[in-house]
Chains A and B, each alone.
Chain A
Amino acid sequence: MKVPDLSEQEKAFVEMDVFRSYIKWRNRFALKIAAFHLCLVFIFDLISYSYPELMLVPVWPESAITFSLACVIYVTFSVIFSAFYYGHKVNKESSKIENIPRESHNNV
């Protein structure tokens, strides 16, 4: 067990409000996206097993694109969109942390 101790500068930095609120925001943001997609997977599993006929319902009258295909396409694009949105938001928010001058870490 060789966990390096935090330097005084790092200790001060992690106690800063801006850092703490960033971590809190980020954890919640990640949890929301993950929970949404995991729910999609397991709800899809449960519905497809419990109400298989529902999977055959067309998304609009006379269409061959059924609810099951729509789910696959929706989940796939939702994942792509969420990944880019997450990456973009985190880049934006983390730049606030990175832009804090190193010296100011000691001024907390």
Chain B
Amino acid sequence: MFKIKQYSVVLAALCLFAFPVWAAQEVKVNYASIVTFLLFLVMTLIITAWAAKRTKSREDFYVAGGEITSLQNGFAIAGDTMSAASFLGLVGLIFMVGFDAFYFIISLVVSWIVVLLFIAERLRNLGSYTFADAVSYRLSSKPLRILSATCALAIMIPYLLSQIVAAGTLVEGLFGLQYSHGVIVIGVMMMIYVTFGGMMATTWVQIVKAVLLLGGGTILSVGILFLFNFDLDELIKSAITVHPRGIELLKSGGLYTDIISIISLSLAFIGGTAAMPHVLMRFFTVSDSSQARGSAVIAVSLVAYFQIVVLIVGLGAIVLLVDNADYSSGGLDIVGGSNMVGIHLARIVGGDVFMGFISAVAFATILAVVSGITLSAGATISHDLYSNVVLKEKCNETEEVWIARVTVVVLGTLGIYLAIIFEGQNIAVLATWPLAIGASTNFPLLIMSMYWKGFTTKGALMGGSAGLILAVSLLVMSPNIWVKVLGNSEPIFPYAYPTLFSMGVCFLFGWLFSVTDKTERARNERHMFKAQLVRSQLGG
């Protein structure tokens, strides 16, 4: 087992690697952010060393031995949801367009009530390590695991890449570290957490980060309210006065101008959040379904609370940053782009030290999220594909965990390599993929397999494949990729998100090919629904 002494060597190596690079940079270095981030690294490496001692079996590696409490899991799940995109991205969006960011906030919050009501407990009772366990509970395991794994990887790889590229860019601006060095630091740290500490380390890293982010966000929003004597009315009036959109700031149309894109966006958030493999996997880390329910209740509350924080921070940013000569070259043109709005605001509210703290928390946020995604991808490949499909469940625990660890290292290395290649590329479009694909594949499959007696393997395969193909095709043909990335003048598919169509097709094909499936296998699958229903309620 990996020893603490070895961790110290790794940490020392990272510091030795990082400090000369920082020292060599000519940009202004914020030492508060470096110190905060190094403290975070030390703390998380100690956690990883502790977790590594407790990670002995397959169950320990994938789901922390089911020893996580509902409170801990609630914080970890909320941490997974409160990514850099949902903090820096949403604050930047409120700053730029105002009202249209509310679509994101409302649908993100409501998505969690769907997870609580329909997914958390049944998933916990039916699955073991991945969501594919629950989908294939009474259906044909091999084809469904291949489909689920394909969908999961189609979600996770672009998500992972977009996060690492974002981290590299963030590091350049915040720490004065070269892009490639930032990408390597985040990739190496992610591999250390997951490979040695498994789910236990990943969960605790996420908890630490969630507490820091919630605390930092709360201090920032209280600081903003303090500047306005805790008068929300005054804050909003000031925002309307200074923003170029004026009162239109609180009216739709800043980002989306058609109802199809708006409804598709809401569906993408509602279905997509409920279908993220790395989030779903967390429900297996608790001991039973009541703990899963408790986790979801806590996660819902924390995520919803955080959206209120984001709203206040966004409004505060408008008042304090629009036309502020220190941070803006006029109007909404902010130094470093709209994603830097939250960071600049932290400096105005709390000075360099607080800005350093928020910057380090933002970087830690990405680090914690990519660790969860990588672990989930490792479990998908080793448990779903290698163990269940290739070796037909004849794989022993040690070998399976070894494959998962190798997958994590390969994915981490691949992520670093691709992130360096993609430097400077417009990768923001990749962030739209995970939610749209999740909502068009995993979400309908999970709901239909757990709640509909008539659902069959044929329906699942046809529905899932159609949803995946349509979602990917329409995303490529949408304005975000067809016009912005591929440089065409007009998009083939005119809407920002394909979810209304692709999710609809997945449900439709799932239903159609299930009701028309008259085979003996389909009859058996329908017959087994009662046993599945009881297991989903009672567990065991």
Residues of A participating in the B interface, judged by any CB pair closer than 8 Å: 1, 3-6, 10, 13-14, 23, 30, 33-34, 37-38, 40-42, 44-46, 48-50, 52-53, 55-56, 63-66, 68-69, 71-73, 75-77, 79-80, 82-84, 86-87, 90-91, 94
Enumerate chain A residues within 8 angstroms of B532, measured Cβ to Cβ.
3
Contact (Cβ within 8 A) A64 B290:
no
Enumerate chain B residues within 8 angstroms of A72, measured Cβ to Cβ.
102, 105-106, 307, 311
Task: Give CA–CA (A75, B102) in the complex, Å.
Answer: 11
Q: List 22 A-B contacts (CB under 8 A).
A: A1-B524, A3-B137, A3-B528, A4-B531, A33-B117, A40-B106, A49-B252, A49-B258, A55-B252, A64-B240, A68-B102, A68-B251, A71-B106, A72-B105, A72-B106, A76-B305, A79-B113, A79-B304, A83-B300, A86-B297, A90-B293, A94-B290
Q: Which residue of A lies closest to B116 (CB)?
A: A83
Contact (Cβ within 8 A) B117 A84:
no
Enumerate chain B residues within 8 angstroms of A86, measured Cβ to Cβ.
116-117, 297
Task: Give CA–CA (A83, B236) in the complex, Å.
Answer: 29
Contact (Cβ within 8 A) B102 A83:
no
Enumerate chain A residues within 8 angstroms of B253, measured Cβ to Cβ.
52
Q: Which residue of A lies closest to B306 (CB)?
A: A76
Enumerate chain A residues within 8 angstroms of B524, measured Cβ to Cβ.
1
Q: Which residue of B lies closest to A29 (CB)?
A: B117
Contact (Cβ within 8 A) B110 A38:
yes
Known: A1-B138, A1-B140, A40-B110. A63 touches B233 (CB 8 A): yes
Contact (Cβ within 8 A) B117 A48:
no
Q: Which residue of A lies closest to B99 (CB)?
A: A68
Contact (Cβ within 8 A) B109 A79:
yes
The stretch of B259-267, B331-339, B343-351, B400-408 that contacts the partner chain: B259-267
Known: A41-B266, A63-B233. A30 touches B118 (CB 8 A): yes
- Closest Cβ–Cβ distance, residue B98 to chain A (whole Å): 9
Residues of B participating in the A interface, judged by any CB pair closer than 8 Å: 99, 102-103, 105-107, 109-110, 112-114, 116-118, 137-141, 232-234, 236-237, 240, 247, 250-253, 258-259, 262-263, 266, 270, 290, 293-294, 296-297, 300-301, 304-305, 307-308, 311, 524-525, 528, 530-532, 534-535, 537-538
Contact (Cβ within 8 A) A68 B113:
no
Contact (Cβ within 8 A) B270 A38:
yes
Enumerate chain B residues within 8 angstroms of A65, measured Cβ to Cβ.
232-233, 236
Q: Sorted from nearest, which 4 A-B pairs have the closest CB atoms?
A: A64-B236, A83-B300, A87-B297, A30-B117
Task: Give CA–CA (A40, B532) in the complex, Å.
Answer: 32
- Closest Cβ–Cβ distance, residue B370 to chain A (whole Å): 27
Given contacts A42-B263, A79-B110, A79-B304, 16 further A-B contacts (CB under 8 A): A10-B534, A23-B537, A37-B110, A40-B110, A41-B270, A42-B266, A46-B259, A49-B252, A64-B237, A65-B233, A65-B236, A75-B106, A75-B109, A76-B105, A76-B305, A86-B117
